[in-house]
Amino acid sequence: MRAVIQRVKNAWITVNGGEKKEMGAGLVVLFGVHEDDCARDTLNVAQKIAQLRIFEDSNQKMNINAIDLGLDCMVVSQFTLFADTKKGRRPSFIKAARPEKAIPIYEKFLSEMENMGFNQVVHGEFGADMQINLTNDGPVTIIIDTDEWRNI
């Protein structure tokens, strides 16, 4: 699994041109599933994201997590996080999990995130056409890759 986490002041998403889902300050998480991933890692990834101390304390040190501040979270499925750009000019997405495997893992991850204690969790829809607008805060961007966890 791969997650790109951005600290934001606010964000909104629309799915297939539908109603805008808005959030205040918190985290936007772009979430991708690799073909070799399994659902057992979703809880660890969700906990890591929820507990990331990337918000400033009174001394301007990144020392507080989004949960402790009562902030929001947005989760968006994004298979393009596994783009292979080694050859040619068109990325290959062959390493991204196929929908029949990725959807249950994404839904489990989304459920785990909803149980972490964020003020609210808004989300996109797997495979849908989505527009996302966000205001980066910092900017602070963190990448989590479970493959790196296994190679330590």
CA distances from 117 to 11, 93, 95, 106 (A): 19, 33, 32, 18
CA-nearest of 120, 34, 108, 117 to 74 is 120
The single residue of 14, 42, 80, 85 carrying the catalytic annotation is 80
Q: For this structure, is 80 an active site residue? A: yes
Bond preceding residue 99 cis, omega within 30 of 0? no
Query: In 3-state terms, what secondary structure has residue 108?
Result: helix
Q: Which residues are catalytic?
A: 80
